[in-house]
Amino acid sequence: MAKILYIEDDDNHKELTRNILRGHELIMASDGIEGIEKARQEKPDLILIDLNLPGINGYETTTKIRGIKEISHIPIVAVTAGNTEENREISLAAGCDGFISKFTPIAEYRCKIQEYLDGKKDALEDSEKLNCLKKYQSRLIAHLEEKITELEKERDHLKVTQIQLLQQEKMASIGQLAAGIAHEINNPIGYINSNLCTMKKYLAKICQYKQQCQKVWSELKEINHPKITQAFESLENLSAELKLPFILEDIGSLVEESLEGVERVRKIVADLKSFSHLDEAELKEADLNQGLQSTINIVWNELKYKANLIKELGEIPLVRCYPQQINQVFMNLLVNAAQAIETHGEIRVKTAPAGDRVLVEISDTGCGIPPENLSRIFEPFFTTKEIGKGTGLGLSMAYDIIRKHNGEIQVESQVGKGTTFRLLLPIDGPQVTENNKTEYSFKA
């Protein structure tokens, strides 16, 4: 009579196994912890274990028993209703010596148990065990590779999210700073503009007075009185010496140019104030032409030394969008276009209606994108720039923003000739779709 430990939580299977194994001393345990303790105490000749135990399952219990020196030699047979190849592989990998289905006929069941008690190798020969272990190892490696891929994707997603959050924080801080600076600039610009306008009026009055003086002089000159003639000749000589005619004429030009400069500063300040609200979450109708012009003014310093800017802004309808986010896309594409030009080239900005969408096209005559890189340009952190000169997030962020707007990006590029980005944005704005997927296509 052999001593057999049966670790099983189902009372019906316990009773059935007790009847099947009459003639042997059967010790019962209801879970893994109890089973390990009874294995220590009773030192059975054979351990039968269900795989689906409460608490620690059969695989973990088997592994723990194999780690206890005084009971590690006891044969362990997995007994389960789940007679699958995967269960066989996992149970053998955990340390089981065999595998029996609960639905095995009684006579065959008894025969198998006796073979394990006699120390024989039943249907599971060493080669079959090895084959099962290899299959399990392959399955485990595939599972681990899948999990590693998922974790790498999640890591990249977290890195992108972290950098985007930092970028948003930075832009929000810049926005606050820009708004403050714009407010501070507005005050002096206001009184400079007011003073120049007043000066323009004063100059007009001085010129009017001068004209009247010349008229009087012409009338007095006819009198031909020596003292009057001498006095006016003296004034004319002084006027010529001081270059008053030129000064009065030039003052007018200087005031006009100054007023033009003040107006340009006022527009830049207005664009800066508009661009300072990059965190604005309001979905509203916007003029993309105006957004492009504002963005061009902001990044003009990046563009003017590298390219001639050609604007072909068509008559387009208002687009329902997040204006500041779209401006961010324009800024990224314009700066990229300037950086793609090595010496001096051309940047062309075009807008046009396109059915129920609006087309925005930004082209450059830069170095172009090699075909092998074209399909990767929207990947986070992918960049061909030197270390320290680019994060590889500009186009990725642009892609995410366009995707958020349910838009489409098309890229056409030729090495040595230049690149064109085409944005197609729906007039009605972002629509909630099943997958909310943005299309992008490439042409080399």
Domain boundary among 225, 252, 275: 275
Residue 352 carries which DSSP code?
E
Residue 336 placed within a domain: yes
Token pair listed for 326: 């779209």
Pairing of strands 76-80, 98-101: parallel
Residue 376 placed within a domain: yes
CATH number, domain of 362, equals 3.30.565.10
Residue 100 placed within a domain: yes
Domain boundary among 248, 275, 302: 275
- Quick: pLDDT tens for 138-186: 777 887 888 888 888 888 777 767 666 665 555 555 555 566 666 667 6
Q: Are residues 75 and 113 in the same domain?
A: yes
Q: Are residues 252 and 301 in the same domain?
A: no
Residue 291 scores a pLDDT above 50: yes
Distance, CA of 65 to CA of 80 (rounded, Å): 18
Q: Are residues 314 and 354 in the same domain?
A: yes
Q: Is the pTM of this model over 0.85?
A: no
Quick one: pLDDT at residue 122? Answer: 45
Mean pLDDT computed over 104-108: 87
Mean pLDDT computed over 174-201: 72
Q: Are residues 269 and 290 in the same domain?
A: no
Q: Are residues 190 and 310 in the same domain?
A: no
Quick one: pLDDT at residue 123? Answer: 42
Does 83 or 416 have the greater pLDDT score?
416
Mean pLDDT computed over 292-314: 88
Quick one: pLDDT at residue 279? Answer: 47
- Where is average pLDDT lowest: 187-196, 214-223, 328-337? 214-223
Residue 137 placed within a domain: no
Mean pLDDT computed over 292-309: 86
Quick one: pLDDT at residue 116? Answer: 84
Closest CA to 67 of 99, 39, 98: 39
Q: Are residues 241 and 313 in the same domain?
A: no
Q: Are residues 350 and 374 in the same domain?
A: yes
Contact of 87 with 80, CB cutoff 8 Å: yes
- Quick: pLDDT tens for 58-102: 888 988 998 899 998 899 998 887 667 777 777 777 778 888 888
Q: What are the helix and strand counts (H, E) for the chain?
A: 12, 13
Contact of 125 with 131, CB cutoff 8 Å: no
Residue 133 placed within a domain: no
- Where is average pLDDT lowest: 192-196, 269-273, 343-347, 400-404? 269-273
Q: Are residues 290 and 438 in the same domain?
A: yes
Instruction: Find the helix or strand (DSSP H, E) in which 270 lies.
Output: helix 244-275
Distance, CA of 51 to CA of 145 (rounded, Å): 26
Residue 338 placed within a domain: yes
Q: Using pLDDT thresholds of 50, 70 and 90, give the confidence band for residue 387.
A: very low
CATH number, domain of 40, equals 3.40.50.2300
Q: Are residues 378 and 303 in the same domain?
A: yes
- Read off φ and ψ for residue 347, nearest 5 degrees: -120, 125
- Residue 291 burial class via C-beta count within 10 angstroms: exposed 0-12, middle 13-18, buried 19 and up: buried
* Strand ranges of the sheet holding 25-29, from the earlier edge strand across to the other edge: 25-29, 3-7, 46-50, 76-80, 98-101
- Tell me how crowded residue 48 is: count the other CB atoms within 10 A of its CB: 23
- Quick: pLDDT tens for 40-52: 999 999 999 998 8
- Quick: pLDDT tens for 203-221: 888 888 888 887 877 777 6
Does 227 or 360 have the greater pLDDT score?
360
Q: Are residues 290 and 270 in the same domain?
A: no
Residue 163 placed within a domain: no
| H-type alpha helices, 118-243 | 126-221, 226-242
What's the domain range around 40?
3-124
Q: Are residues 268 and 329 in the same domain?
A: no
Domain count, the chain: 3
Contact of 306 with 338, CB cutoff 8 Å: yes
Domain boundary among 124, 141, 167: 124
Closest CA to 44 of 94, 151, 117: 117
Token pair listed for 239: 């006027």
Residue 361 scores a pLDDT above 70: yes
Quick one: pLDDT at residue 35? Answer: 93
Q: Are residues 204 and 324 in the same domain?
A: no
Residue 223 scores a pLDDT above 80: no
Pairing of strands 418-426, 408-414: antiparallel
